């Protein structure tokens, strides 16, 4: 019994001693790696000497090189790298005398301890590094290219600086001539905002012809203008960064002339959900090859909460972008005089889900707009054309370079008559119209200029159908003289109620626009 008691006492003593021993929860080894965003966030207006204390015990950064010195369009002495973490891509520039030794796709580890985080001419970079600070892990790695609008880049420049970005369907302003080259600074217009594309004279593509519209990819870098203000630029790395090019029109060419295409009908409220089911029907008044003579179609919506410019007139008219205007480039395919064709959602159904497939009809442009931004501007949306409330609109333009000052080649408006988000007489902001069967750029009585909807006599609005979600095709029937380019009978609207089994001939006959001559 005494032995058993002594044994128990010994066990309890061991437990008590173990319990009294201090446990060090910090015995684990800290990672030597930090993250790009953590480093960028250290800068607060003055130089930062990087050390273990402000790097929380870390000493290194890892990422993939995106600069490409072989293309000749890279800042001298800068190695630019980026990394993606938790679906966020961030980058940094490294001042390095041997920057040209590294190629795009090189995976590297950089010892940044002892370096200095600073801004030089507006650009954030790490200086004080040597070639020994860099260790290359591998080559030929995939480089992530994120898509962003010029508006997003200018709104949050720190999120995009020193990363590889594509601005989709950007347009060059002013419109270049066929002889204009990349060299120098060119303004890319993308919705209501713009960004400068910079090309060094020594770049391999500096003397190439500049497109009017393209997808422009490149490294986003900060610089300072003559007044010292920071501005963002995009530096393409090579000619491969510029894709889906549309050449500028020949200034000596004939152009498309008046009314090359007419808006002849549309579906703003298909049966069921509208996402990717809205579309516009168009009628060609002449033969058109869109590869040689591109056009664009823009839809607008103007609910009080739609941004940018919520509750107000659109800041850049048809080119406002965001949740206000959405652009389709018509730059491929061709149509014949008198032929109906279509532009709109990618599902290509006549009346919403499970209805007749009309993909065999002539489609010049279709976008899955629920998940994809427009061609150059316009944010992804569950619906582009409003079903109620303030008026929506559809406008056609010759070319794809649409700005606030661009005048449509045809335009229609439908819906409510609220003016606040459509036209502001004080700022002269709004949606431009043109001379057609229902709108006039001058008041016929007073000869007063009235270039906007809801200005002067420009009040014609096709109403919304009184029954929502019924599946109406809005037929716009009139008679157009294709030789004289005049309306013999103005377009009138007819609400044609479709079913799930309706066929395309129903919306291409009876009460539709027709051509004479």
Residue 227 reports pLDDT greater than 90 = no
Q: Which of 110, 138, 166 finishes a domain?
A: 138
In the chain, the N- to C-terminal Cα span, in Å, equals 122
Q: Are residues 194 and 264 in the same domain?
A: no
Question: Residue 6 pLDDT > 80, yes or no?
Answer: no
Q: Is the pLDDT of residue 39 over 60?
A: yes
pLDDT at 354 over 50: yes
In a domain, 416, yes or no: yes
- 304 and 433 within one domain: yes
φ/ψ of 38, rounded to 5, equals -60, -40
**pLDDT at residue 281, rounded to an integer:** 98
Q: What's the pLDDT band for 135 if we cut at 50, 70, 90? A: very high
Token pair listed for 406: 């661009």
Residue 181 belongs to domain with CATH number = 2.40.50
Say yes or no: 346 and 478 in one domain.
yes
Per the rule left: phi > 0, alpha: psi between -120 and 50, beta: everything else, 278 is beta
Q: What is the pLDDT of residue 247?
A: 86
**119: part of which helix (H) or strand (E)?**
strand 116-120
Q: What tens digit of pLDDT does each residue of 383-431 get?
A: 999 999 999 999 999 988 888 989 999 999 999 999 999 999 999 999 9
Rounded to 5 degrees, φ, ψ at 485 are 60, 45
Residue 11: strand, helix, or coil: helix
Q: Structurally, how many domains does the chain consist of?
A: 3
Output the DSSP codes for 231-283.
EEEEE--SGGGEEEEEPPPPTTS----S-SEEEEEEESS-SS--TTT-EEEEE
* Segment 24-34, tens digit of pLDDT: 334 456 689 99
Q: Decide if pLDDT at 497 tops 60.
A: yes
pLDDT of residue 12 exceeding 60 = no
* Full residue range of the structural domain in which residue 236 is found: 146-246
Nearest in space to 385 (alpha carbons), one of 420, 356, 414: 414
Token pair 């000749």 in the structure block, residue: 72
User: Does the structure show a pLDDT above 60 at 41?
Assistant: yes
285 and 346 fall within a common domain? yes
Residue 249 is predicted with a pLDDT of 77
Is 346 in the same domain as 221? no
What is the model's pLDDT at position 7? 45
Cα–Cα distance, 290 to 177 (Å, whole number): 19
CB neighbours of residue 204 within 10 Å = 16
Cα 417 to its chain centre, rounded Å, is 29
3-state DSSP assignment of residue 155:
helix
Q: Does 452 share its domain with 418?
A: yes
Q: If you search the block for the tokens 């406002």, which residue do you land on?
A: 320
- Answer whether residue 4 shows pLDDT above 90: no
**Average pLDDT of the chain, as a whole number:** 92
pLDDT, tens digit (0-9, with 9 covering 90-100), for 103-130: 999 999 999 999 999 999 899 999 999 9
Decide if 371 contacts 164 (C-beta within 8 A).
no
Average pLDDT over every residue of 304-314 = 95
Is there a single domain that holds both residue 342 and residue 438? yes
- The per-residue pLDDT for range 285-302, each reduced to its tens digit, is 999 999 889 999 999 999
Q: What average pLDDT does the segment 68-73 reach?
A: 93
Could you tell me if 378 and 415 lie in one domain? yes
Average pLDDT over residues 488-495: 98
Work out the pLDDT band at 252, boundaries 50, 70, 90. low
Stretch 327-336: mean pLDDT: 96
Output 504-508 pairs: Cβ under 8 A, ≥24 positions apart.
Answer: 504/350, 504/356, 504/358, 504/361, 506/473, 507/265, 507/281, 507/350, 507/473, 507/475, 508/281, 508/340
Q: What is the CATH number of the domain that holds 357?
A: 2.60.40.1260
Query: 131: helix, coil or strand?
Result: helix
Residues 180 and 320 in one domain: no
pLDDT in tens, 164-184: 999 998 999 888 888 899 999
Q: What is the mean pLDDT of residues 474-487?
A: 97
Q: Name the region of 153 (left: φ>0; alpha: ψ -120 to 50; beta: rest).
A: alpha
């Amino acid at each position: 019994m005494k032995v058993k008691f002594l044994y128990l006492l010994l066990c309890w003593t061991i437990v008590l001693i173990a319990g009294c021993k201090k446990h060090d929860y910090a015995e684990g080894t800290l990672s030597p790696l930090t993250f790009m965003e953590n480093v960028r966030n250290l800068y607060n207006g003055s130089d930062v000497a990087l050390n273990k204390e402000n790097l929380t015990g870390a000493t290194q950064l890892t990422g993939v090189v995106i600069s490409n010195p072989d293309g000749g369009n890279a800042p001298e002495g800068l190695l630019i790298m980026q990394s993606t973490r938790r679906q966020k891509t961030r980058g940094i520039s490294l001042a390095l005398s041997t920057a040209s030794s590294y190629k795009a796709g090189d995976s590297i580890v950089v010892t940044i301890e002892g370096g200095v985080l600073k801004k030089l001419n507006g650009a954030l970079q790490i200086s004080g590094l040597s070639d020994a600070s860099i260790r290359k892990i591998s080559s030929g790695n995939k480089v992530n290219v994120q898509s962003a609008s010029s508006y997003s880049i200018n709104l949050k420049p720190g999120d995009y600086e020193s990363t590889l970005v594509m601005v989709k369907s950007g347009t060059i302003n002013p419109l270049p001539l066929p002889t204009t080259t990349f060299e120098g600074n060119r303004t890319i217009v993308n919705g209501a905002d713009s960004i400068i594309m910079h090309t060094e004279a020594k770049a391999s593509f500096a003397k190439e012809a500049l497109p009017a519209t393209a997808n422009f990819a490149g490294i986003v870098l900060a610089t300072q203008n003559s007044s010292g203000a920071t501005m963002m630029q995009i530096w393409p790395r090579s000619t491969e960064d510029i894709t889906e090019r549309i050449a500028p029109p020949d200034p000596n060419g004939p152009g498309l002339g008046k009314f090359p295409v007419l808006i002849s009908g549309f579906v703003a409220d298909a049966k069921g959900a509208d996402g990717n089911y809205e579309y516009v029907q168009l009628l060609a008044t002449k033969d058109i090859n869109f590869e040689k003579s591109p056009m664009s179609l823009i839809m607008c919506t103007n609910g009080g909460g739609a941004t940018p410019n919520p509750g107000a007139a659109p800041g850049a008219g048809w080119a406002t972008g965001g949740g206000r205007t959405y652009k389709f480039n018509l730059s491929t395919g061709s149509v014949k005089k008198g032929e109906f064709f279509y532009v709109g959602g990618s599902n290509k159904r006549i009346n919403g889900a499970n209805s007749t497939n009309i993909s065999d009809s002539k489609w010049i442009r279709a976008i899955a707009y629920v998940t994809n931004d427009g061609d150059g501007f316009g944010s992804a949306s569950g619906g582009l054309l409003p079903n109620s409330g303030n008026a929506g609109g559809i406008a056609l333009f010759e070319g794809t370079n649409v700005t606030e000052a661009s005048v449509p080649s045809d335009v229609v408006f439908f819906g409510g008559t609220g003016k606040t988000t459509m036209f502001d007489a004080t700022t002269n902001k709004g949606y431009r119209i043109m001379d057609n069967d229902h709108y006039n750029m001058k008041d016929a009585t007073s000869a007063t200029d009235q270039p906007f909807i809801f200005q002067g006599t420009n009040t014609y609005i096709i109403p919304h159908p009184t029954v929502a979600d019924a599946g109406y095709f809005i037929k716009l029937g009139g008679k157009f003289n294709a030789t004289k380019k005049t309306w013999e009978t103005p377009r009138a609207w007819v609400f044609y109620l479709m079913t799930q089994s309706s066929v395309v001939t129903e919306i291409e006959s009876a009460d539709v626009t027709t051509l004479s001559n």
